[in-house]
Amino acid sequence: MTASRRLFLKSAATGTLLAPVTLLTGNLARGEESALVVHPPDHKTGEVIRTTGELLPTGEFLREERRLVPVAGASEVLVCGGGPAGIAAALAAARSGAKTQLLEFAGCLGGVWTAGLLTKILDAGNKSGIMREILTALSERGSHVAKETDGTVYDPELAKRVLEEMCVGAGISIQLHTLVVGAVTDERNRLVAVITESKSGRQAWLAERFIDCTGDGDLAAQAGCQFDVGLSENCECQPMSLMALITGLDPIEVEPYLRETESAAKQRLYQLMQKAGINPSYKAPTLRYLHDGIFSLMTNHEYGVSAFDAGAISQATINARKEVFEIVEGLRKIGEPWARIAVVATAEQIGVREGRRIKGRYALTGADLVAGLRHPQAVARAKFPFDVHALELSGNPDVVEQYRKRGVKAYDIPYPALLSAEVDNLLMAGRCISGDFLAHSSYRVTGNAVPMGEAAGTAAAQSIAQRIMPYELEWKTARSNS
Ligand SMILES: Cc1cc2nc3c(=O)[nH]c(=O)nc-3n(C[C@H](O)[C@H](O)[C@H](O)COP(=O)(O)OP(=O)(O)OC[C@H]3O[C@@H](n4cnc5c(N)ncnc54)[C@H](O)[C@@H]3O)c2cc1C
């Protein structure tokens, strides 16, 4: 029985038994294979659907044969990416009554907050709704530092737990360890399914509305949307940084170097490092006290790394981890109060500041931020400055410095910037929304990603209930966050 089933699955994977099922742009050929009995891979016994293919003569490509992809779930709203934007999108959709599925690549929810060990939530002070709920939970359940900072300086482990509780409590179906690798659109160019890869093999997920919260805009790219990357056609992006947790310091003795003490603390720490012969690749190293002898440290930049190149990201991660350890060892050699400094953890995911900015129905610009844009369909009001971490070790191009000098006036993030210009049932939230390089350097912070996610999730659910497309929905600014 098992052997024959194995054979059957293998031949199904090569496509020899079936009429083809379109997994590229085009109709899903529902029913064409209805006469066939196909078993999904067995997650208990470890059965898989095998891949077969043919190496092309050039050796540069392998043609994978068409194969069946089991449908793992059908929801009303499918959220891809469970970072700050994604959890808010899923929570808002589920609380609005939509059957909601959340897919996340890491082994936890929270994105850069948790897998990235961020420890600071910026531009959140004026936000209500889900952002306020999270801050309250992190503050009430967190350390005295979390309380003193209204939850904006938080413990990433507690954040993992809080986010899981909130999402489970809202009835969201969650699958971690799952990477979105493909998307299927229909003849109207609307998304029909998302394809994932995980320990369960390749899976398909159906939904009515899709929200790209992958940070890098992976889903929108797979759906064929247009996008921009970086400052110019050369795609220069902000550097990546690997965050670390540190211990072995006395918070009173190192107080002058703590970011929450005063902004000059970063410069002080940099000078201390230089005196000790340490030359960090990030010239504004940031040390934060979290709780009970645990600190967070951001002290490195990896320049010129593409968010879409797994090999380059891997190398950047290895370089950055080496640099973190070298810096900590260098600080230890200074002696008291650094004599016992040690690394507790480095982030599982190097912090990626920039990926794709997906073309939306409105593109937020640097000029909008300078002017303090007011928009009738605002989902949030942001205040964070232009924050472009040096594109290269030597610094930033003039255009960036000019904008930085002109400064940001509190501005609205418009709902249409969350709507794909090309795929009607696709929304975006977080750092992959529609905007230019300079605007992104401000709106990308997590105090804005959360209200964007909340708006996208609410709009997705409401548009289903009203039987209209998200772009036909009139977003009511009255909700919150302005
Ligand atoms: C080093 C660093 C320091 C920063 N400092 C701060 C700070 O102090 N405060 C602040 O507020 N902001 C800070 N930012 C900015 C901020 O973290 C990001 O812009 C923010 O995380 C945006 O949230 P997001 O949900 O859009 O993206 P992310 O946090 O990146 O979340 C995206 C999620 O999607 C998942 N994902 C990605 N691709 C896929 C896929 N194909 N399939 C499935 N899942 C996928 C990821 O695993 C992740 O969980 C910093 C960023 C970096 C990199």
Q: Which one-letter DSSP state was computed for residue 112?
A: G
Tokens standing for residue 137: 């939970």
Q: How far is the CA of 83 from the centre of ligand 1 (A)?
A: 6
181, burial (CB in 10 Å: exposed 0-12, middle 13-18, buried 19+): middle
Looking at the fold, whether 314 and 386 belong to one and the same domain comes out as no
Q: 128 versus 33: which is more confidently predicted?
A: 128
Phi/psi at 324 (nearest 5 deg)? Answer: -60, -50
Which residue, by CA, sits nearest to atom 7 of ligand 1? 120
Q: How far is the CA of 215 from the centre of ligand 1 (A)?
A: 6
What is the predicted pLDDT for the residue at 39? 63
Looking at the fold, whether 331 and 395 belong to one and the same domain comes out as no
Q: What is the rounded average pLDDT of the residues 47-74?
A: 93
179, burial (CB in 10 Å: exposed 0-12, middle 13-18, buried 19+): middle
Q: What is the rounded average pLDDT of the residues 287-304?
A: 97
In a domain? residue 473: yes
Q: How far is the CA of 52 from the centre of ligand 1 (A)?
A: 35
Q: Is the pLDDT of residue 25 over 60?
A: no
pLDDT band at 38 (very low <50, low <70, confident <90, very high): low
In a domain? residue 34: yes
Rounded CA gap, 186 and 80, in Å?
Answer: 19
In a domain? residue 27: yes
Lowest mean pLDDT, pick from 86-100, 103-117, 390-404, 445-459: 390-404
Q: Is the pLDDT of residue 135 over 60?
A: yes
Give yes or no for a contact between 204 and 197, defined as CB atoms under 8 angstroms apart.
Answer: no
- Write out pLDDT tens, residues 361-416: 999 999 999 999 999 999 999 999 999 998 877 778 888 888 989 999 999 999 99
What is the predicted pLDDT for the residue at 395? 75
Q: Is 240 left (phi over 0), alpha (psi -120 to 50) or beta?
A: beta
Smallest CA-to-CA distance from 142 within 170, 175, 124, 120 is with 120
pLDDT band at 5 (very low <50, low <70, confident <90, very high): very low
Q: Which of 118, 282, 387 to mutate to test the pocket of ligand 1 (most atoms within 8 A of CB)?
A: 118
Tokens standing for residue 375: 């928009």
15, 39, 68 — which closes off a domain?
68
Tokens standing for residue 441: 């350097």
Tokens standing for residue 468: 């209209």
Q: What is the rounded average pLDDT of the residues 346-372?
A: 98
pLDDT band at 477 (very low <50, low <70, confident <90, very high): low
In ligand 1, which atom is closest to the CA atom of 86?
A: 25
Q: How far is the CA of 281 from the centre of ligand 1 (A)?
A: 21
Phi/psi at 182 (nearest 5 deg)? Answer: -165, 165
Q: Is the pLDDT of residue 3 over 60?
A: no
pLDDT band at 270 (very low <50, low <70, confident <90, very high): very high
Q: Is the pLDDT of residue 16 over 70?
A: no
Which residue, by CA, sits nearest to atom 13 of ligand 1? 445
Q: Is the pLDDT of residue 21 over 80?
A: no
- Write out pLDDT tens, residues 150-208: 999 999 999 999 999 999 999 999 999 999 999 999 999 999 999 999 999 999 999 99
First and final C-alpha spacing in the chain = 62
Element (H, E) at 374: none
Q: What's the mean per-residue pLDDT of the chain?
A: 91
What is the predicted pLDDT for the residue at 392? 79
Q: How far is the CA of 302 from the centre of ligand 1 (A)?
A: 16
In a domain? residue 238: no
What is the predicted pLDDT for the residue at 391? 86
What is the predicted pLDDT for the residue at 353? 97
Q: Is the pLDDT of residue 338 over 70?
A: yes
CB count within 10 Å of CB 276 equals 16
Q: Is the pLDDT of residue 216 over 50?
A: yes
- β-bridge partners, 206: 74, 193
- Number of folded domains in the chain? 3
Looking at the fold, whether 85 and 214 belong to one and the same domain comes out as yes
Q: How far is the CA of 156 from the centre of ligand 1 (A)?
A: 13
Rounded CA gap, 3 and 346, in Å?
Answer: 45
Looking at the fold, whether 360 and 214 belong to one and the same domain comes out as yes
In ligand 1, which atom is closest to the CA atom of 243?
A: 1
Residue 173: helix, strand or coil by DSSP?
strand
In a domain? residue 112: yes
Q: How far is the CA of 118 from the centre of ligand 1 (A)?
A: 9
Looking at the fold, whether 376 and 402 belong to one and the same domain comes out as yes
Looking at the fold, whether 253 and 304 belong to one and the same domain comes out as yes
Transcribe 402-434 into DSSP letters. Answer: HHHHH----EEEEGGGGBBSS-TTEEE-STTSS
In ligand 1, which atom is closest to the CA atom of 298?
A: 1
Tokens standing for residue 114: 């948790």
Tokens standing for residue 185: 């659109």
Looking at the fold, whether 199 and 310 belong to one and the same domain comes out as no
Which residue, by CA, sits nearest to atom 16 of ligand 1? 445
What is the predicted pLDDT for the residue at 394? 75
Looking at the fold, whether 443 and 473 belong to one and the same domain comes out as yes
Q: How far is the CA of 196 from the centre of ligand 1 (A)?
A: 20
What is the predicted pLDDT for the residue at 43? 80
In ligand 1, which atom is closest to the CA atom of 122?
A: 11
Which residue, by CA, sits nearest to atom 51 of ligand 1? 353
Which residue, by CA, sits nearest to atom 41 of ligand 1? 180
In a domain? residue 239: no
In a domain? residue 12: yes
Rounded CA gap, 102 and 207, in Å?
Answer: 11
Rounded CA gap, 255 and 249, in Å?
Answer: 10
Q: Which domain holds residue 342?
A: 244-346
Q: Is the pLDDT of residue 1 over 50?
A: no
Q: How far is the CA of 123 from the centre of ligand 1 (A)?
A: 15
Q: How far is the CA of 379 from the centre of ligand 1 (A)?
A: 19
Looking at the fold, whether 159 and 86 belong to one and the same domain comes out as yes
Q: How far is the CA of 348 from the centre of ligand 1 (A)?
A: 13
Looking at the fold, whether 229 and 254 belong to one and the same domain comes out as no
28, 43, 68 — which closes off a domain?
68
Q: Which of 117, 205, 214 to mutate to test the pocket of ligand 1 (most atoms within 8 A of CB)?
A: 214
Looking at the fold, whether 90 and 191 belong to one and the same domain comes out as yes
C-alpha distances out from residue 398 to 395, 405, 439, Å: 9, 11, 16
Lining ligand 1 with CB less than 6 A are 80-86, 103-106, 111-112, 115, 118, 120-122, 179-180, 213-216, 218, 241, 243, 351-353, 430-431, 444-447, 449
346, 365, 390 — which closes off a domain?
346
Transcribe 46-70 into DSSP letters. Answer: T--PPP-EEE-TTSS-EEEPP----
CATH code, 395: 3.50.50.60
Transcribe 75-104 into DSSP letters. Answer: -SEEEE--SHHHHHHHHHHHHTT--EEEE-
Looking at the fold, whether 455 and 384 belong to one and the same domain comes out as yes
Residues 6+ apart with CB under 8 A from 20: 29, 66
Residue 446: helix, strand or coil by DSSP?
helix
Q: Which of 112, 135, 178, 222 to mutate to test the pocket of ligand 1 (most atoms within 8 A of CB)?
A: 112
